Structure 1
């Protein structure tokens, strides 16, 4: 089976692949040091208020952990940020000048917001290297991408990314043969090839071994600074490891921010213990 035929078989037509989006990204302004603004956001589905007057601010270069019980609104929040769901009211800005509510999903992806879903989305018939090459942000035609040689800058970026995600020894291996954790790292690498400013990462360690969880925490921590990273997760041990003593943790409940601060503060908040940690 040729690479192109394999690609045609594995592309999910419902998934927004940023590398298939026209390159027309608006200019990002983070002069106020805040990358993402969500203000007064509310949305209801059949009478159920999934998001209720949500206010959330993510700083440029920040690693933020977001936790909350099932139904807290975590997935809906990410759907709003990425344009999959439109809120009933409120505002969502990427930097000071990019109105996310005025854009569709492909435009938001191209503006610099990458999303990693819980289930990894990789091209299993293609090698690790080919997955990363395909995801690279440039102006080449997708269907002829493998017939063109990489320039030095592209090669350097690909080598840096494959080393960052720890898959150098698996470069020629079909992605379908990777472990679950390795597929998660590969998808993060594919997002990085798009040079996103903000990464939304949904439950990255579900189904991982403890060793893979530790490696995932190291990877996400290493991305902070160069990128803003928002991690939604249920595993509290992983969140403690990821947040440490100096990163902000946000607790959502019934579509609103219930508590926010360092992990030690959040853990001791009686409201959090009642609705989440104490369940």
Structure 2
């Protein structure tokens, strides 16, 4: 009886392994999670109201109010120490404010969610330094991002559906890396790595994309292509760009928010911001 039970257990294990190694299906654990419903009936995707946070007595964010509309491309500028990075840390759950409210739509309280839950809710963040899997191909990077898991072996054991394959091709077209699809990510130029990381975020279908200094270290040609890319994304999702390069900001800006000492110093069109005497004094040094 014991021998029979042992053989049956072995048979079940072998069958389970065969099922795991099949490539004719996509398993549940590599399916991307659906974002929870976000209520944007008030035409606001991101609310930050009365937000303040201090570090060792220094007020990095001071009664900050910021509102981002669905599909909007917003540029955030300000001198070093203005609170731009801390603002993004708060939105993504890395830093908890001492006061204030932060909502995605009017239904999701981001201050009650951890970083993983916020990412799954549809907020993607791209840091200044590109973070891609250099030993994998461009295609594999996008495939792994779509899977929403951290186990590369599991990704390669599952076959993509036609819809998923088409989605990767669509993102490759958006980021302009169709010809590099089978090349290693580690061999891409700096600008191409930035575009690939944006593509990886797009595979997760974010509703809000936070982009930190996307053109740092780029050639002028790469900067122009990045401007085109970010402009093409607006409308599909909200895009918040933090950048120091004023020439680049002028090329993409519709609405600009100027931060200073953790507060909104000015907000409006690029022309209005540039003509603001306080902004010129504080930010431009004039």
Is the shorter-chain TM-score for this pair beyond 0.5, marking a shared fold? yes
Compute the displacement of 1:142 (Å): 5.3
How many angstroms apart in 2 are the aligned matches of 1:139 and 1:27?
22
How many angstroms apart in 2 are the aligned matches of 1:47 and 1:20?
44
Matched, 1:178 2:185: no
Match for residue 228 of structure 1?
238
Compute the displacement of 1:22 (Å): 8.5
Q: Quick one: which of 159, 162, 171 aligns to 1:161?
A: 171
Pair 1:206–1:138, CA change in 2 (3 A)? closer
Compute the displacement of 1:24 (Å): 6.7
Matched, 1:135 2:124: no
How many angstroms apart in 2 are the aligned matches of 1:20 and 1:115?
21
Match for residue 204 of structure 2?
194
The within-5 A match list for 1:11-30 is: 23=33, 25-30=35-40
Q: Quick one: which of 255, 266, 273 aligns to 1:266?
A: 273
Compute the displacement of 1:103 (Å): 0.4
Matched, 1:125 2:132: no
Pair 1:187–1:20, CA change in 2 (3 A)? farther
Matched-pair contact (CA < 8 Å) for 1:94–1:100: yes
Q: Quick one: which of 255, 267, 277 aligns to 1:248?
A: 255
Match for residue 147 of structure 1?
157
What 5-or-longer segments of structure 1 have no aligned partner? 1-18
TM-score (norm 2): 0.87
TM-score (norm 1): 0.89
Matched-pair contact (CA < 8 Å) for 1:65–1:249: yes
Alpha-carbon RMSD across the aligned residues, in angstroms, is: 1.8
Alpha-carbon displacement from aligned partner over 1:72-130 (angstroms, at most 9, x marks no partner): 00000000000000000000000010000000000000000000000001000000000
Aligned length: 258
Compute the displacement of 1:25 (Å): 3.9
How many angstroms apart in 2 are the aligned matches of 1:155 and 1:74?
36
How many angstroms apart in 2 are the aligned matches of 1:138 and 1:87?
28
The within-5 A match list for 1:209-220 is: 209-220=219-230
